[in-house]
Amino acid sequence: MASLKEVRNRITSVNSTQQITKAMKMVSAAKLRRAQDAILQMRPYAKKLSEMLATVSAGTETAAESPYKQVRPVEKVLIVIVTSDRGLCGAFNTNVVKAGMALIQEKYAAQAAKGNVEIFALGKKGGEACQRRGFKVNASFMDVYSRLSFGVVKEAAESIMADFEAGKYDAVEVIFNEFKNVATQIIRTDQLLPIPDAKDELKKATTSNVNYIFEPSEEQIVTDLIPKTLKIQLYRAVLESNASEHGARMTAMDKATDNAQELIKALRLEYNRSRQAAITKEILEIVGGAEALSKG
């Protein structure tokens, strides 16, 4: 059985840890509200933009001729992994990295064997994990959350689009956590490039029967919409991941706080038992000593 001093030190240590987890939970709760508002405002815009592009591009050859819709034999692949910069958020980052590795093994095993799979890291944890696994990682925007804005994500999207257009990659996929609620995040894998066929979007679109008046021209609008849609799609993935991160950290810190409380209870019980045993031992020694003196 541990000494009273050791148990007291452990109780003090766990109490300090509990205060930290409580504080982290409160910070994540405050950040979650802002991040949740941002993604809830972005979703309708991103959805409507995709529907509009699908509807408009269905009637023009300009979309089919776009360099971002060109389907080529897949030799070189870019996987965009969206994670967080910090840990202490449960399996949030691990699940995304695992999904990325599973995607590579199931869909791009041949390309990976030739060393033709590259990781584009948005978030330090994903980039570091993929580097440890031996993948070539583009870390240019790994610190995206330290300066999170549409401008920064736009630069990342433009870099990816330029590389695809130049033929550096034949396929680009994005893996991220989609925010559902505080306790639930859903792993999503979306094909960013080449742009998927608009038929599926048209089936879901509520604006498919709308007749548009185009100004300056239908072709020009489609040409402008395609790059903008790609940038918004990537920005939405980052915002989804940002909200999911705070939700996951809030849940993880809440559980950590509860576990700390349970540990404190167990340690206090152990402390009381040790103290009781020490007192009993001292009483027995006193009684034994008194008996010895009386007999002497």
Tell me the per-residue pLDDT of 135-189, one tens digit each, with 9 for 90 and over. Answer: 999 999 998 998 889 999 999 999 999 999 999 999 999 999 999 988 889 999 9
Q: Is 233 exposed, middle or buried (0-12, 13-18, 19+ CB in 10 A)?
A: middle
| 3-state SS class at 87 | coil
Contact by Cβ (8 Å): 226, 56: no
Peptide bond before residue 196 is cis, with ω within 30 degrees of 0: no
Contact by Cβ (8 Å): 136, 119: yes
Q: Catalytic residue at 89?
A: yes
- What was the pLDDT predicted at 207? 47
Cα dihedral 275, 277, 278, 283, rounded to 10, equals 120
Amino acid at 12: T
Q: Is pLDDT larger for residue 181 or for residue 56?
A: 181
Comparing CA positions, the residue from 195, 193, 202 lying closest to residue 58 is 202
Question: Of the residues 39, 89, 117, 260, which is catalytic?
Answer: 89
Count H helices, E strands: the chain?
A: 8, 5
Distance from C-alpha of 69 to C-alpha of 283, rounded to nearest angstrom: 87
Distance from C-alpha of 86 to C-alpha of 83, rounded to nearest angstrom: 9
Longest dimension (CA), the chain: 117
- What was the pLDDT predicted at 210? 62
Q: Where are the beta strands (DSSP E) in 101-169?
A: 117-122, 136-138
- What was the pLDDT predicted at 58? 66
| 3-state SS class at 50 | helix
The predicted model scores a pTM of 0.85
Query: Is residue 41's pLDDT more than 80?
Result: yes
Going along the chain from its start, the domains and CATH numbers come out as: 4-14+254-295 (no CATH), 21-248 (3.40.1380.10)
